[in-house]
Amino acid sequence: MSKTFLKGQTPLSSLALRSDAYYTQHRIDLVVDEHIDHIELAGDGTGTATAATGRRWRFDRLALATGARPRHLPIEHADLDGVLTLRDLHDAQALAQRLTTATALVVIGGGFIGLEVAATATAAGVPTTVVEAAPTLMNRVVSAATAKIVATAHRAAGVRIRTGVRPLRLRGTNGTITAVELDDGDELPADLVVIGVGAQPRDELARAAGLHCDNGIVVDAHCLASDGHTIAVGDCANLPDPSPASDGTVRLRLESVDNAVEQATSAAGTLTGLHRPYRSVPWFWSDQGNLKLQIAGLARPDDEIVLRTGRRPGQHTTLRYRGSRLVAAECLNSPADFLAVRRALGEETPLPRVTAADTGLSLKEHLAAARTPR
């Protein structure tokens, strides 16, 4: 929704996860436009879900896939008209409409969503400034080396980027946004502001039902919540790191399509008695203008890097190492490297740093050699 839908290239009808026929064929009763506001859980995992309209559903097992909501900034006048977030279809429709008349966009937050919106808006001819409090873009998810390359590409496309500064307050006239005041004294004109500073898990139902929550609904490797019966998956779940090399002591939330699909597969196994722990190489992607960023694995800020420049302009791969172990890769316009590293991480194929630095061979060739018995 932050890319082709905003450009008008993706019709509304194509955004549905499944067709109506799919639900009918698989004996799934789909209920929309109902908000569950209360859950009663019994000790054996059975219970009742009650909607705001009073409708009730009895269940033998409960799966919570309540997602996350956009994080809001605690600054003055954040409720002005023209200040938006992007999370659901209604948000995307509102933003798409605003972009047709906007003359100055300020994006607060230099993460995936913020940069995707900035690239889309700039390509549509809307002057855009990205404001990021951290010293680099995508500070929590990529290395400084990758962030620098991405920033250079966005600036070349016309995006203005301000890092290391925070929005102090929003200014408006007659209830409508007109400017963003930064903590360094600068003021950015804006008739449209998009806030993309992360998300918070929707775990209110779980908390009220007595389930253990800590930055999301706490689950084990089988997607089971603290009562041993309820399932929680997706953005709302706090889970053990599913990476093959993980020892299970690190907990996190994974906000990605890949996790929503893979974790749900494990959860379905738990519900049907298979009880296979969720193990997978986390991966993410972001399309930002002419940049396609693909990430495999989970890195930490102190991981060391090996930077490989591709054979074609705009191709870069940053490999992340923890000691001697390859733990992640950040691939820009390098899908072959992404696929090779993702497979290697899943198989725990060793790739020494000195070997990875040799660009005479592709990563696929290096990893194939590492798998060949000697």
Token pair 């997607």 in the structure block, residue? 223
Indicate the number of domains in the chain: 2
Query: Measured at the alpha carbon of residue 272, what is the angle toward residues 269 and 229, in degrees to the nearest 5?
Result: 90
- Of 251, 254, 274, residue with least CA distance to 262: 254
Q: Is 75 helix (H, G, I), strand (E, B) or coil?
A: coil
Residue 56 within a domain: no
The average pLDDT across 127-152 equals 96
Expressed as residue numbers, the domain containing 75 is 70-199
Query: Measured at the alpha carbon of residue 290, what is the angle toward residues 289 and 291, in degrees to the nearest 5?
Result: 90
pLDDT (0 to 100) of residue 238: 98
Is 0.85 surpassed by the pTM of this model?
yes
What is the Cα Rg of the chain in Å? 22
| DSSP-assigned letters across all residues of 231-272 | EE-GGGEEEE---TT--S--EE---SHHHHHHHHHHHHHHHT
CATH of the domain at 154: 3.50.50.60
Q: Among 2-16, 34-48, 129-143, 261-275, which is the least confidently predicted range?
A: 2-16
Residue 265 within a domain: no
Summarize pLDDT for 256-303 with one digit per residue, the tens.
999 999 999 999 999 999 989 999 999 999 999 999 999 999 999 999
Neighbours of 38 (CB within 10 A): 13
Residue 20 within a domain: no
Indicate whether 85 and 194 sit together in one domain.
yes
pLDDT class for 3, splitting at 50, 70, 90? low
Q: Is 290 helix (H, G, I), strand (E, B) or coil?
A: coil
Residue 322 within a domain: yes
pLDDT (0 to 100) of residue 10: 74
pLDDT class for 13, splitting at 50, 70, 90? confident
Residue 165 within a domain: yes
Residue 90 within a domain: yes
Residue ending a domain, among 169, 199, 229, is: 199
Query: Does residue 350 register a pLDDT over 70?
Result: yes
Residue ending a domain, among 199, 225, 248, is: 199
* Mean per-residue pLDDT over the chain, rounded: 93
pLDDT (0 to 100) of residue 2: 58
| DSSP-assigned letters across all residues of 106-154 | EEE--SHHHHHHHHHHHHTT--EEEEESSSSTTTTTS-HHHHHHHHHHH
Summarize pLDDT for 298-349 with one digit per residue, the tens.
999 999 999 999 888 889 999 999 999 999 999 999 999 999 999 999 999 9
Residue 285 within a domain: no
CATH of the domain at 331: 3.30.390.30
Residue 255 within a domain: no
Spatial contact of 135 and 163, defined as CB atoms under 8 Å apart: yes
Residue ending a domain, among 134, 167, 199, is: 199
